[in-house]
A and B are shown apart, each in its own frame.
Chain A
Amino acid sequence: MKSLTLRNVSKTYFDPYAGAHVTAVSDASLAVGQGEFVSIVGPSGCGKTTILNMIAGFIPVSSGEILLNDQPVKGPGPERGVVFQSFALFPWKTVLENVGFGPKMRGLPKAECDKIAREYLALAGLADAAERYPNELSGGMQQRVGVVRALANNPEVLLMDEPFASVDAQTRMTLQEELTRIWQERRPTIIFITHDVSEAVFLADRVIVLSKGRVLKELAVPLPRPRVWDRLIEDSAFKALSGQVLQLVRSA
């Protein structure tokens, strides 16, 4: 069952410094099944964030089309949740209000929003932080809030733009394991952008390698779940796959 489809999507924009049009993404086609976990990996400037921004509806496509359940994507919407590298938590709202923001936008009453928010905070082990403000939390906790805020809106697709790039290495591993756990429980469709090869392989069912705005290669990741670093770090299949992806990225 296909959930999200990109058909010959291209993005060009005008660069006033160069005085010319620049191609960020050219002719990318992609199909993501419902409940699938896909990583998109590539060097910086390969167009991976541009693709994510187009799926999120933050920027329009120049040509081609993006379909979600056969409906073309027009602008941002709650059926596509986004998790940002910079967390993008509202500093003037408490953790509870941040997580309850999506339900509030759907017009649910306050009590209902709070109930949903508390439920999702408990999912990420953040129940005690509900009344705190984002700047009072560590980076790792802030991004947990960012993830459950997107999930609390019950999106069909979760778009994650290098969400763990700005937390320390220990926390990153924990967050990655937690994400796979939550994904197994709830089964949202996830598109995960990263430049970290082992992260891409660890998380996903399928890794898409991007280069210079084009899809270079797609690789299935048949590793068993649940995945934990203690086991995978020495796993030969994981090492082989990571090595293969790394070579593709470096050659790109």
Chain B
Amino acid sequence: MGNESQQSCRPAAAPAAAVAAQARFPRIVAAAQFVAPLLFLLLLWELVVRAFGVSPRIFPDVEAVARAGWETIQDGTLVRHIGASLGRVAVGTVLAIAISIPLGVAMGLSPVVSSFLTPLFRFFSVLAGIAWIPIATLWFGYGFGAITFVIFNAVFFVVAYNTLLGVARIPMPLRQAAAALGAGGWSMLTQVILPGALPNIVTGVRTGLGFAWRGLIAAEMIATNVGLGYMLFLARDFYRTEVIVFGMIVIGILWLLIDRLLLAPLERATIERWGLVDRA
């Protein structure tokens, strides 16, 4: 949604040179248009910190953040924290997706079963993620197990719920048409059920990962000694705002990368071409 709005909403009266440049390097111009406001924000930040002489214990200047960032990169702590966080997300998410999609499909196939189970999965997907932190830490202790469980849980229920809905919403005539054309169980699954539910599944994965990412940061603040959330929370103890701000920027960039490069293109590729947008 970000990309298309940028493209369709440029000021109408752009200078001729800009239009020509845009025609020649469309991607570079689009990227510049995206980055320019962020650079402006960076400038504003530096100006405000200097003009008002803000104490570094309240908010750091740009240079301090850059220096803190460089230090964490050099001594390897950043890589260690990012590695731990991404590792937990990857394990929890992959496990959750691998289990929830087959389960959701199985439950969605029968209208009676799916309408009966929908409230249950709604309830648990509403609870998904952060609300499980206390009990997860009690069951698994502080560390990898508890955090991965929270992520698993955030993705699992949301994806299962969306898959269930997606399968249940496939119009019956589509399944009948496939059966009348000779599709058996496996073809029915791969040609009709999965593609039909895919928009919902992708939306579920995107939402679930959003919950999981927040759950991860929260859980890492509470229940571990490595990871981005822990890095931020540790820095708080020493009033090292420059480390905190650097960590926030890293978290923002990581999520933008995950969402824009992995999830959004997937959603666009499947849903928009098929004209299923209004259903999802």
Contact = CB atoms under 8 A, between A and B. Distances in A.
Interface of A: 56-58, 75-78, 80-82, 84-86, 88-93, 101-102, 105-106, 133-136, 149-150, 153, 159
Interface stretch (B72-80, B124-132, B155-163, B172-180): B172-180
Contacts of A86: 171, 173
A88 B181 CA distance: 12
22 contacts: A56-B180, A58-B176, A76-B180, A77-B182, A78-B181, A84-B173, A84-B177, A86-B171, A86-B173, A88-B176, A89-B177, A90-B177, A91-B275, A92-B195, A92-B196, A93-B191, A93-B195, A105-B183, A105-B187, A133-B273, A136-B275, A153-B182
Nearest to A76: B179
Given A58-B176, A91-B275, A153-B182, 13 more contacts: A76-B176, A78-B180, A84-B176, A84-B177, A88-B174, A92-B195, A101-B181, A105-B181, A105-B183, A133-B274, A149-B177, A150-B180, A159-B180
B11 to A, nearest CB: 31
A105 B182 contact: yes
Contacts, number: 77
Contact of A56 (B174, B176, B182, B184): B176
Contacts of A135: 274-275
Contacts of B179: 57-58, 75-76
Nearest to A78: B182
Contacts of B173: 84-86, 88
A106 B184 CA distance: 10
Nearest to A87: B173
Contacts of A78: 180-182
Q: Is the interface of A mostly helix, strand, loop or mixed?
A: loop
B180 A80 contact: yes
A90 B174 contact: yes
Given A58-B176, A86-B171, A92 B182 contact: no
A149 B198 CA distance: 23
Contacts of A101: 178, 181, 183, 191
B234 interface: no
B192 interface: yes
Interface of B: 171, 173-174, 176-184, 187, 191-192, 195-196, 198, 270, 273-276
A90 B180 contact: no
Contacts of B182: 77-78, 102, 105-106, 153
A56 B173 CA distance: 12
Nearest to B198: A92
Contacts of B196: 92
Contacts of B180: 56-58, 76-78, 80-82, 150, 159
A91 B176 CA distance: 15
A176 B270 CA distance: 35
Nearest to A79: B182
B177 A91 contact: no
A84 B177 CA distance: 8
Nearest to A97: B191
Nearest to B279: A91
A133 B275 CA distance: 9
A226 to B, nearest CB: 28
B174 A149 contact: no
Contact of A102 (B171, B174, B181): B181
Contacts of B198: 92
A159 to B, nearest CB: 8
B2 to A, nearest CB: 24
B274 to A, nearest CB: 4
